[in-house]
Amino acid sequence: MARTYRLASGDSHLQVPADFWTDRVPEPYRELAPKRVKLPTGGQAIVAVDGSSYFGATGSYAGHTPEDFDPMTAFDYEETVGAGPPDQRLREQDQDGVDGELLFPGSSATHGIRVKDNAAYLAMVRAYNEYLADYCAAAPDRLWGVGMLPAGEIDLKIAELRRMKQLGLRAAGLNGYPAGEPYPTPEDDPFWSAAIDLQIPLCIHTSMSRGSGPVFKYPRQPEGWNAEDDFINRLYRHANASRSGSLTACQMVFAGLWDRFPSLKIYCAENNIGWIPFYLEQMDSEYEKNHFWAERHFGIARLEQRPSEYIKEHTYWGFYDDPIGIKLRHEIGVDHVMWGSDFPHVVTYWPKSRELLDKQMAGVPADERRKMEADNILGFLGIDH
């Protein structure tokens, strides 16, 4: 019988210390793995082989108030909310009235895997995913893992996708385009095909396209081209690419990704959503004014739909505290909006997420609220409910 879900987080983090999973790294590489180290000033840090360290920062806010929280002070993992084994996590879900969470890697993992040896790096990614799968197996109806994809060759990413499927992980996290460019290319297509065939949902945490370098590979690159007149730059410029999926979504539209793969869906977590209606409206307006010269000079063919229509159909968006975004939900699509607690990171309201949502959702019909608070993320992940 399917579980009843009232509240499910589409954005939470597994903020466990490195030594929870590094014992799974094969012996030849174990000395290169990150380690938990006690600090002489108190608290603990995760130290990578290159000497860099991570000690919590804004990643471990849960259990604090704005008055007592200090991201410059290291904490003790043994006493920290959100940093324990599965049974602790389930108790913390219960305290918050949460019935399940999508678990993205915490910074204690992503900051710690800093090794130049490719074999060692890949072994660490695999070790983390294996640990994550076992962690989630403690309560598969409530703990849903987002597997970590390795950097590097696309074949390695596809192979890890297959391992994730075998391990039972619910989704895969994208940190960049599969072939390694800062924009989509045809070389990415085998990865998209594999994700569809394996039925593994794809997630982006905030953004994977920052806009700090070339933003697109056009069919033609005109001589005398001025970067300020770049077509893609014009279309996504009404939103901040560093903290949202605005540029990524725009790139995917004009790369024809969803024309080639109409069943492909992408979830951008922790974006908040109030900016999206304005972004979509302005993107369509810019497109109508600029697509003719873009086709002449850059070789970009006219789209079959408006840019906003592709994005509304194929992308999902995560919010945490966004009353104006809730008011504008119909401009995005109620079926494509998902709440996330970001537990235990700094935007979390744990253990008062329900109180926050009651305020944000005031006046929202019960069926729409149920979609944004549980049904949409469950449907995206393919979880019976």
Question: Could you list the mean pLDDT of each consecutive 10-residue stretch along the chain, which spans 385 residues?
Answer: 90 94 96 93 90 84 92 89 96 98 87 89 97 98 97 96 98 96 96 98 90 84 74 86 89 97 97 96 96 94 96 98 97 98 96 97 98 98 93
Phi, psi at 253, each rounded to 5°? -60, -50
- Closest to 48 measured CA to CA, from 28, 33, 61, 58: 33
pLDDT value at residue 228: 65
What is the rounded CA–CA span in Å between residue 179 and residue 177? Answer: 6
What is the rounded CA–CA span in Å between residue 7 and residue 374? Answer: 5
Per residue in 221-259, pLDDT (tens digit) is 887 776 667 899 888 888 887 779 999 999 999 999 999
pTM value is 0.95
pLDDT value at residue 41: 85
pLDDT value at residue 105: 93
Strands 35-38 and 44-47: antiparallel
Residues 6+ apart with CB under 8 A from 323: 359, 360
Q: For residue 364, give the DSSP letter.
A: -
pLDDT value at residue 101: 98
pLDDT value at residue 1: 59
pLDDT value at residue 227: 66
pLDDT value at residue 291: 95
105 three-state secondary structure: strand
- Closest to 329 measured CA to CA, from 366, 364, 376, 379: 364
**Residue recorded with tokens 């966004």:** 322
